[in-house]
Amino acid sequence: MLLRAVPLHWTGLACDLAALLSERDPFRSSSAGKQADLRFRLDALRGDREQTEGSTVDRRTIHRITQTADLWKKQLNQPADRLQSDRPTETGQAGPLLALAYPDRIAQRQKGGDARYLLANGRGAIFAHPDQLASEPYLVIADLDAGSQWARIDLAAPVSLEDIERLYADEIITAEAVVWDERTASVRASRQRRLGALVLSEQALSKPDPALITGALLDGVRRAGVQTLAWTAELEQWRARVQFLRRIEGPDSTWPDLSDDTLRQTLEEWLGPYLDGVTTLDRVQRLDLTEPLRALLAWDQQRDLDRLAPTHFTVPSGSKIRIDYDGQDLPVLPVRLQEMFGSKETPRIAGGKIPLMLHLLSPAKRPVQVTQDLAGFWARAYQDVRKELRGRYPKHHWPENPLAAPPTAKTKRPTQ
């Protein structure tokens, strides 16, 4: 900072600033101690204010700072008249000088009411207390704590956009940016002028790269979560059937992993090709997922899915009953007990490898038994269940020998 200040004729101010930053804060009381503006300290150093907003200035610290500043001025070997001429009566150049010393700490105020700043190095900073600097669009932060994501601003000075562009013209880059805008839940495409992480200005792009749009859009989907997409009950069951087959095949299964985590990580592969012309999360969330998801299965898997993990099972009564695959270790077949009369074997799927978990229901469709062993139920538990059901549903037929009785989907015994 000191060397770069010489051709700018800011040498005296630069020495004062450097000395201030090398010593402890000359303000001692709480009120101004909370004010981060370095210009107040420069005023105190030059004797312009003995008191700053009710805070006492530590004269010993001021003396040490003055001595240090004078030493640096001598080391710079500048003529006395030069030092006097570049010593301004106001301290408006403090910010630009700090920008020379700390280019990575040039900071831009973010939208919102809590005065958060983004630094050129990508860090965030915030005032811990109300501060007069909090309305400034740009600051240079000379001192901040090294704490959380939003560091506390302890010392800073304002700097104008014009000064930033003048001092760092060679480091400001122009680039096209296609990013996800969380506020509008859409893709924003613009041509930006940037200094590090700071966007100094931007213009909307009329024809951005479609691949960049898709990438930004998928970033938005990841943030929202794949569970926010248009999952119908039918698709959830389809996914559960595939997951069931993958689970029973074990680690070497060729069936795709359709868990939320894997779908989130592979959005580019299965969802990206279906997003041409889409730029908003709302449109993605209304997209029919049937084709993108089914395309994850090979042709032979699409054929085998209905055979190995059917959606329905036809029970002895002739009823075609939906199998529930969702959230279960084994698929569940909820069926009225009377519809299974005469059947000795538990229904099986997956080429006969996996027995269904039977939820045997009362006429009111309440479970009276859960079993994978239908033959064992008839032999050991049916008579107790029969006694209870005869008392609760006397108009229904509860045969003593269920294996000899015809299955029925009717709710009551036929009248004679």
Residues 3 and 6: their CA atoms lie apart, in Å, by: 6
- The H-or-E segment that residue 383 falls in is helix 382-392
Q: Residue 83's beta-bridge partner residues? A: none
Residue 328 tokens read as: 């279960």
Residue-level pLDDT at 85: 42
- As a whole number, mean pLDDT of residues 178-194 equals 94
Q: 94-127: per-residue pLDDT in tens? A: 999 999 999 999 999 998 888 899 999 999 999 8
Same domain, 194 and 107: yes
Last residue in a domain, options 76, 97, 118 = 97
The single residue listed with the structure tokens 């042709």 is 299
Q: At 326, is the pLDDT very low, low, confident or very high (cuts 50, 70, 90)? A: confident
Same domain, 112 and 195: yes
Query: Is the model's pLDDT at 130 over the cut of 80?
Result: yes
Last residue in a domain, options 254, 272, 307 = 307
CA dihedral 155, 157, 161, 164 (to 10 degrees): -80
Residue-level pLDDT at 54: 56
Residue 58 domain flag: yes
Residue 218 domain flag: no
Residue 156 domain flag: yes
Same domain, 255 and 179: no
* Integer angstrom CA distances of residue 246 from 198, 240, 290, 303: 47, 10, 19, 15
Residues 12 and 81: their CA atoms lie apart, in Å, by: 11
DSSP string, 79-94: -HHHHHHT--SS-TTH
Same domain, 7 and 72: yes
Same domain, 77 and 127: no
Q: What is the identity of the amino acid at 76?
A: L
Residue 76 domain flag: yes
Query: Is the model's pLDDT at 415 over the cut of 60?
Result: no
Residue-level pLDDT at 89: 45
Chain mean position to CA 348: 43
Residue-level pLDDT at 4: 78
* Integer angstrom CA distances of residue 300 from 251, 289, 306, 395: 20, 20, 11, 49
Nearest to 360 by CA among 351, 349, 376, 352: 376
- As a whole number, mean pLDDT of residues 344-368 equals 95
Mean pLDDT, all residues of the chain: 89
Nearest to 218 by CA among 183, 187, 239, 184: 187
Residue 217 domain flag: no
Same domain, 183 and 154: yes
- As a whole number, mean pLDDT of residues 261-280 equals 97
Q: 388-400: per-residue pLDDT in tens? A: 999 999 999 999 9
Same domain, 278 and 321: no
Number of domains comprising the chain: 4
Same domain, 344 and 367: yes
Same domain, 231 and 319: no
Last residue in a domain, options 245, 279, 307 = 307
* Integer angstrom CA distances of residue 7 from 1, 78, 95, 212: 11, 11, 17, 44
Query: Is the model's pLDDT at 84 over the cut of 50?
Result: no
Helix residue ranges, H only, 290-334? 290-294, 299-308
Residues 340 and 405: their CA atoms lie apart, in Å, by: 9
Same domain, 8 and 81: yes
φ, ψ dihedrals at 241, nearest 5°: -65, -45
Residue 355 domain flag: yes
Residue 323 domain flag: yes
Query: Is the model's pLDDT at 82 over the cut of 50?
Result: no
Same domain, 273 and 350: no
Query: Is the model's pLDDT at 80 over the cut of 50?
Result: no
Q: At 79, is the pLDDT very low, low, confident or very high (cuts 50, 70, 90)? A: low
Residue 221 domain flag: no
Residue 205 tokens read as: 């792009």
Q: At 83, is the pLDDT very low, low, confident or very high (cuts 50, 70, 90)? A: very low
Same domain, 327 and 345: yes
Query: Is the model's pLDDT at 61 over the cut of 90?
Result: no
Q: 247-270: per-residue pLDDT in tens? A: 999 999 999 999 999 999 999 999
Nearest to 39 by CA among 77, 89, 73, 79: 89
Q: 189-233: per-residue pLDDT in tens? A: 999 999 999 999 999 988 899 999 999 999 999 999 999 999 999
Query: Is the model's pLDDT at 318 over the cut of 50?
Result: yes
Going by the DSSP 8-state scheme, the letter that residue 415 receives in this structure is P
| Owning domain of residue 27 | 2-97
